[in-house]
C-alpha cells in the first residue's frame, strides 16, 4: 500500500510515492518555464502542467504506481486558473509573481487580515473583470492551481481553507467574503465550496488513470497549499513547531493551535491540518546571494570559503574585523515580511579601499541572515516564542551558513531528514483522505531531525543586526512609497 503526493510548483512539478509508514519510496521532478508575455506578467498554460505530470509519473516505478491507494495535492499559492463549464481553461494560469494588478491594490484598503500582493487571486481576478470581460463571461470556476489539477484528474470542484485564505478574497479562516466579492464585481459563483485539506474530493477517472499509469477509482484528497504541505511533510504537528526554508526566497512557518494575532507584514493562514500558522515570507535569500556571488565572480565553494575563512585560523579573524562596519541590504526584489515594500532595494554601505571581496561576500551572507531575523522578529512580536527551527531547503546545507543563521536568528537549527517535504505532505493528505491515517497520527509520522547548529551568543553580530535595521530605516524613503519604518 502506498500514497502519491503531487506538488504543482511554480517552476517544476514533483511526484512522490510514500509507503504506509510515510517513508518516501520514489520521487520524480519535471521542470518547466514561466511565461512572461508582457512585462510584469507571470503565466503558465495548464497544458504545460499536464505534460509535466505525465512525464513525472512515467519516471516512477510501474510496480509502485500500481500500489497507490490515494493521491494528495500540494500547489503554489495565490495564483488562479479560470475554467469554463466543460472544465477547459479559458486562458493560461496567472501566478503569484505576476504584478499586472499592482495598480488595483487600493481596492484592499488597510487594515487587512493578511498582506495583499498583486499576484494573489483577488487582484488578478479584479484585473480579469476589468480588462478581459469576454473571458470573464466564459468563466465558470476560478480555481487555485492544485484544485485545477484535482478536477483535471476527475475530482470534485472544491478548495480548502489553506488556499482560500491566501486569495485576498476570504476571511482568515478561508471562508469566501461575499460582500468583498460584490464590491469588486467578481462573481461569487466562481468560487468552489470549501472542504478540509484531508477530505476526500472525488476519485481518479478512467482517462486520467490511463494517462498516469494508475488504477482508476482511487481516492483524491482535497489537498492544500504548498507551504502548509511542506510544514506537514516536515513534521510540524504541535502548537509552536517551526520551520525555516531557504531557497530563492525564505519562509519561516510557526504552527498555532488558534488564530494568531495580526501583525503588519506577517501572514496568518490555515494549515493543512486543523491548525493555523504564522508565516514570515522573505523574497531575497538565494536570489540575493546568487547575484552577489556573480558580482564578485565567485564559485559557490569559494564564496563560502573566502567569506567565512578558516574557523581555526587567522583568516577568520581578519575577515570578521574587515567587515565589521560593512552592511549589505539584500532587498534586490523588494521585500514582503516585515517591510511590505515592493520598491525596496539593496546594496553595500560602509565600503573602504581596503575591503576585500571576501568581506563583501561575508556582509552579503549576514545581510540575508538579518533579513530572515527581521521576519522572525515579526513572528515573535505576534506572541510566538521560537527557540528552535526545523531547517529545510536547498540553500541551507553548508555548515558555516547554518552557524551564521543560528547566531543571527538566536535559535537552534535541526535539519529535517525529508528532501521533498511538500509532495510528502500531499501524499499524507491522500492517506488521511482514504482513511489509512487519522489527524492524530501526524506527529508520529514526523521525519527524523539532526541538530546542526546552536547559537553562540555573538554580541558583535547582534550589534551589526541593529545597524542593519537602522540602515534600512534611514534609506527607506529613497525607494518611494510603500514601506513600513522599523521600530
C-alpha cell at 376: 522572525
For residue 284, how far is the Cα from the chain centroid?
13
What phi and psi values does residue 392 have, to the nearest 5 degrees? -140, 170
How many CB atoms are closer than 10 A to CB 314? 9
Q: Per-residue DSSP letters for 305-365?
A: HHHH--TTSHHHHHHHHHTTT-EEE--BTBB-TTT-BTT---EEES--TT--HHHHHHHHH
Residue 322's pLDDT is 59
Nearest to 150 by CA among 41, 247, 36, 7: 7
3-state secondary structure of 359: helix
C-alpha cell at 252: 519561516
347-387 pLDDT, tens digit each: 999 999 999 999 999 999 999 999 999 999 999 988 899 99
Burial of 449 per CB tally in 10 Å (0-12, 13-18, 19+):
middle
Residue 483's pLDDT is 47
Please say whether the dihedral angle defined by the alpha carbons of residues 116, 226, 273 and 451, taken in this order, is positive or negative: negative
- What global pTM score does this model have? 0.87
CATH of 2-227, one of 3.30.420.40, 3.40.50.360, 3.40.50.720, 3.40.50.300: 3.30.420.40
Identify the helix (H) or strand (E) that includes residue 397: none
Average pLDDT, rounded, for the chain? 92
**Ordered alpha helix ranges (H), 20-132:** 46-59, 62-66, 121-131
Residue 484's pLDDT is 46
- CA–CA gap between residue 57 and residue 30 (Å, rounded): 10
- Percent of the chain past pLDDT 90, that is, above it, reads 78
DSSP class of residue 388 equals: E
Using 50, 70 and 90 to split pLDDT, how confident is the model at 342?
confident
CA dihedral 231, 236, 237, 241 (to 10 degrees): -130
Tell me how long the chain is: 487
Nearest to 111 by CA among 278, 316, 264: 264
143-186 pLDDT, tens digit each: 999 999 999 999 999 999 999 999 999 999 999 999 999 999 99
3-state secondary structure of 415: strand
390-443 pLDDT, tens digit each: 998 666 788 999 999 999 999 999 999 888 999 999 999 999 999 999 998 988
C-alpha cell at 446: 514526523
How many CB atoms are closer than 10 A to CB 41? 16
Using 50, 70 and 90 to split pLDDT, how confident is the model at 12?
very high
Top pLDDT among 426 and 341 is at: 426
Architecture of domain 236-417+457-487: 2-Layer Sandwich (3.30)
Contact predicate 446/237, CB 8 Å: yes
Q: Do domains 2-227 and 236-417+457-487 have the same CATH topology?
A: yes
- CA–CA gap between residue 292 and residue 302 (Å, rounded): 13
Please say whether the dihedral angle defined by the alpha carbons of residues 475, 400, 283 and 271, taken in this order, is positive or negative: negative
14-51 pLDDT, tens digit each: 999 999 999 999 999 999 998 999 998 999 999 999 99
Q: Residue 317 above 70 pLDDT?
A: no
- CA–CA gap between residue 34 and residue 154 (Å, rounded): 26
Top pLDDT among 316 and 191 is at: 191
Contact predicate 19/4, CB 8 Å: no
Task: Tell how strand 327-329 and strand 276-282 pair up.
Answer: unpaired
Q: Which residues pair with 414 in a beta bridge?
A: 390, 451
Domains of the chain by residue range: 2-227, 236-417+457-487
Contact predicate 70/433, CB 8 Å: yes
Residue 262's pLDDT is 84
Q: Residue 316 above 50 pLDDT?
A: no
Mean pLDDT for the stretch of residues 433-461: 93
**Ordered alpha helix ranges (H), 414-479:** 421-433, 459-475
Nearest to 424 by CA among 166, 247, 212, 236: 236
Residue written as cell 539584500? 330
How many CB atoms are closer than 10 A to CB 467? 17
Task: Tell how strand 219-221 and strand 200-203 pair up.
Answer: antiparallel
3-state secondary structure of 277: strand
Amino acid at each position: 500500500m502506498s500514497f502519491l503526493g503531487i506538488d504543482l510548483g511554480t517552476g517544476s512539478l514533483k511526484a512522490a510515492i510514500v509507503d504506509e509508514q510515510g517513508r518516501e519510496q520514489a520521487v520524480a521532478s519535471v521542470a518547466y518555464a514561466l511565461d512572461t508575455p508582457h512585462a510584469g506578467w507571470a503565466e503558465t498554460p495548464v497544458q504545460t502542467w499536464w505534460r509535466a505530470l505525465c512525464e513525472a509519473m512515467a519516471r516512477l516505478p510501474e510496480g509502485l504506481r500500481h500500489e497507490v491507494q490515494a493521491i494528495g495535492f500540494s500547489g503554489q499559492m495565490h495564483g488562479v486558473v479560470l475554467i469554463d463549464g466543460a472544465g477547459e481553461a479559458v486562458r493560461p494560469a496567472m501566478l503569484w509573481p505576476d504584478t499586472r494588478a499592482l495598480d488595483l491594490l487600493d481596492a484592499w484598503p488597510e487594515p487587512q487580515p493578511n498582506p495583499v500582493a498583486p499576484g494573489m487571486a483577488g487582484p488578478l481576478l479584479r484585473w480579469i473583470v476589468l480588462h478581459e470581460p469576454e473571458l470573464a463571461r466564459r468563466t465558470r470556476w476560478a480555481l487555485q492551481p492544485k484544485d485545477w489539477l484535482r478536477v483535471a484528474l476527475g475530482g470534485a470542484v472544491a478548495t480548502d481553507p489553506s488556499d482560500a485564505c491566501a486569495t485576498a478574497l476570504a476571511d482568515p479562516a478561508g471562508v469566501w467574503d461575499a460582500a468583498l466579492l460584490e464590491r469588486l464585481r467578481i462573481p461569487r459563483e466562481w468560487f468552489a465550496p470549501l472542504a478540509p485539506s484531508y477530505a476526500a474530493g472525488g476519485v481518479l477517472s478512467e482517462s486520467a488513470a490511463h494517462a498516469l499509469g494508475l488504477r482508476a477509482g482511487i481516492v483524491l484528497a482535497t489537498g492544500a497549499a504548498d507551504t502548509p504541505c511542506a510544514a506537514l511533510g516536515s513534521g510540524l504537528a504541535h502548537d509552536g513547531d517551526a520551520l525555516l526554508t531557504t531557497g530563492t526566497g525564505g519562509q519561516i512557518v510557526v504552527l498555532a493551535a488558534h488564530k494568531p494575532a495580526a501583525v503588519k507584514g506577517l501572514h496568518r493562514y490555515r494549515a493543512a491540518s486543523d491548525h493555523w500558522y504564522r508565516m514570515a515570507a522573505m523574497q531575497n535569500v538565494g536570489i540575493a546571494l546568487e547575484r552577489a556571488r556573480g558580482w564578485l565572480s565567485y564559485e559557490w565553494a569559494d564564496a563560502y570559503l573566502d567569506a567565512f575563512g578558516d574557523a581555526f585560523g587567522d583568516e577568520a579573524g581578519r575577515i570578521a574585523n574587515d567587515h565589521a562596519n560593512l552592511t549589505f541590504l539584500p532587498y534586490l526584489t523588494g521585500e514582503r515580511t516585515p517591510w511590505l515594500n515592493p520598491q525596496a532595494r539593496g546594496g553595500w554601505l560602509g565600503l573602504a579601499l581596503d575591503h576585500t571581496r571576501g568581506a563583501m561576500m561575508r556582509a552579503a551572507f549576514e545581510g540575508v541572515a538579518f533579513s530572515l531575523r527581521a521576519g522572525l522578529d515579526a513572528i515573535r512580536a505576534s506572541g510566538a516564542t521560537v527557540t528552535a527551527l526545523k531547517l529545510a531547503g536547498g540553500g541551507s546545507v553548508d555548515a558555516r551558513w547554518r552557524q551564521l543563521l543560528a547566531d543571527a536568528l538566536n535559535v537552534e537549527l535541526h535539519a529535517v531528514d525529508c528532501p521533498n517535504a511538500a509532495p510528502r505532505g500531499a501524499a499524507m493528505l491522500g492517506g488521511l483522505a482514504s482513511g489509512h491515517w487519522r489527524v492524530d497520527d501526524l506527529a508520529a509520522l514526523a521525519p527524523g531531525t539532526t541538530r546542526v547548529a546552536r547559537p553562540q551568543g555573538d554580541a558583535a553580530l547582534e550589534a551589526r543586526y541593529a545597524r542593519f535595521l537602522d540602515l534600512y530605516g534611514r534609506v527607506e524613503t529613497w525607494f518611494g512609497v510603500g514601506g513600513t519604518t522599523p521600530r
